[in-house]
Amino acid sequence: MPSKGKDVKHTPTLSGTSHELDPYLPRNGNLGYRISRYELDLTYRVSSNRLRGTATITATSYQQLSRLTLDLAGGMRVERVSVNHKQARHSHRSGKLSITPAQPIPPGGAITVVIRYGGNPRPLRSPWGTVGWEELEDGSLCANQPNGAPSWFPCDDHPEAKAPFQISITTDSPYFALANGVLISKKRSAAQTTWVYEQVEPMATYLASIQIGQYEHRRLATAPVPVYALAPRRLHRQFGESFANQVPMMECFTELFGPYPFPQYTAVVVDDDLEIPLEAQTFSTFGANHCDGTLTSERLIAHELAHQWFGNSVTVARWRDIWLNEGFACYAEWLWSQRSGGRSAEEWARHYYAKLAAAPVKVPLADPGPKEMFDDWVYKRGAITLHALRLRLGDGSFFALLHRWTDKYRYRAATTEDFIALASTYIGESLNDFWRVWLFVPELPPFPEPGVRAR
């Protein structure tokens, strides 16, 4: 395994000029332009679950536009829209905000859209359960993956459409408000406090999030990057025990995966129980049930931290490539287990291989279909595929590949084909048979052995 890399400064880059709609979520995403920045100025009343907002969206057209659309759920009522400082006609139905500028936008034209809106945000129903803005007993959270972002702000809701964000949230002063990025200002006025966060590194909309609650904020470490805790005061002791390895985990992952890609990281624990932890750029959210004073949820803590590299910094360009997020995060669980004195990655791979062999699936890992893309088998087969690749390449080349992957595609969106192409540069023979049996054929190949070719 490689030694710790030096901290490397990177300039955030935006994705390509255009993208196609995703067949897994064909109703989300929009064509004709690319967004280069979101500025969200939000006010939220906890007691009434009332959100009012102004979204300022900067974009560039890549074709002639007499009309453009954004994703926005019906729970939000649009009050006014302007394009390039001129009022624009709009309609809002079926989760789409359709905007007609006063003058058509030419190809390459600069676009500034300002949208005033408000309402009572609520989760959206999806094939994967409810997603989006969710009320807590005393506060709120956002669980956007994969298509919940439009529940609380207008956006181009496509994983490849990454952009920097500034999020300003004004809420009742007893509450702590957290959003993505770094806090750049905090101002208290009467009974309310305004928190302003800047997320410089481009972010997919499904990773945008706000957490509001009566939390205690603590710093856990300053190196290798600042690490923070945000949790109810009553869970202070339990957090110290359940998250005791959060900082060593960060040190381990920066060694294995490369420099941490963002300025800081926060582990959030809400005062409610959650079925699963939630992923967001620069922080992860856990339920009170994940903070019980034991290490029972440590694999989940590792999984969510790993997503900062695999899923947040390097984001899938298409939902069919979800194994690139979840397979890596699952494999990170196994790597941490071995590093912390538990089962080795080899033992975990054999354990879950037996489970997969006992319950075969009929779709390939590289295209599991929208209904199954978050099924557990995708996570586990993805992780075993990475273990098989590690055995084929050897530790030195495998971990060098991970460092190169997180560096080359930092702040960008990537595909399975991108990973295949990069991996080919770390071995002197063809990996076509390997990828065919592990990614593109549903049947489970034999358990991998070091240096043995797939058949």
- The tens digit of pLDDT for each residue in 336-387 reads 999 999 999 999 999 999 999 999 999 999 999 999 999 999 999 999 999 9
Residue 63 confidence class, pLDDT cut points 50, 70, 90: very high
Does the structural domain 217-313 have CATH classification 3.30.2010.30?
Answer: yes
Domain spans of the chain, in order of start: 217-313, 315-440
Residues whose CB is less than 8 angstroms from the CB of residue 95 and which lie 6 or more positions away in sequence, other chains included: 27, 71, 72, 73, 74, 150
Do β-strands 124-126 and 265-269 pair in parallel, antiparallel, or remain unpaired? unpaired
Question: What is the token pair recorded at 221?
Answer: 């470490």
Secondary structure class of 296 (helix, strand, coil): coil
The answer, yes or no, to whether residue 90 has pLDDT greater than 80, is yes
Q: In this predicted structure, what is the pLDDT of residue 15?
A: 42
pTM of the predicted model as reported, rounded to 2 decimal places:
0.94
The answer, yes or no, to whether residue 9 has pLDDT greater than 60, is no
404 CB-contact burial (10 Å; exposed 0-12 / middle 13-18 / buried 19+): middle
Question: What is the token pair recorded at 415?
Answer: 């595909």
**Distance from C-alpha of 381 to C-alpha of 352, rounded to nearest angstrom:** 8
Span 181-192, mean pLDDT? 95
338, containing H or E segment: helix 323-339
- The chain-wide mean pLDDT, for the chain, equals 95
Point out the least confidently predicted range of 188-192, 204-208, 210-214, 258-262. Answer: 188-192
Q: In this predicted structure, what is the pLDDT of residue 190?
A: 84
pLDDT tens figures, 405-455: 999 999 999 999 999 999 999 999 999 999 999 999 999 999 998 855 655
Q: In this predicted structure, what is the pLDDT of residue 451?
A: 58
Span 101-126, mean pLDDT? 97
The class that CATH gives domain 315-440 is: mainly alpha
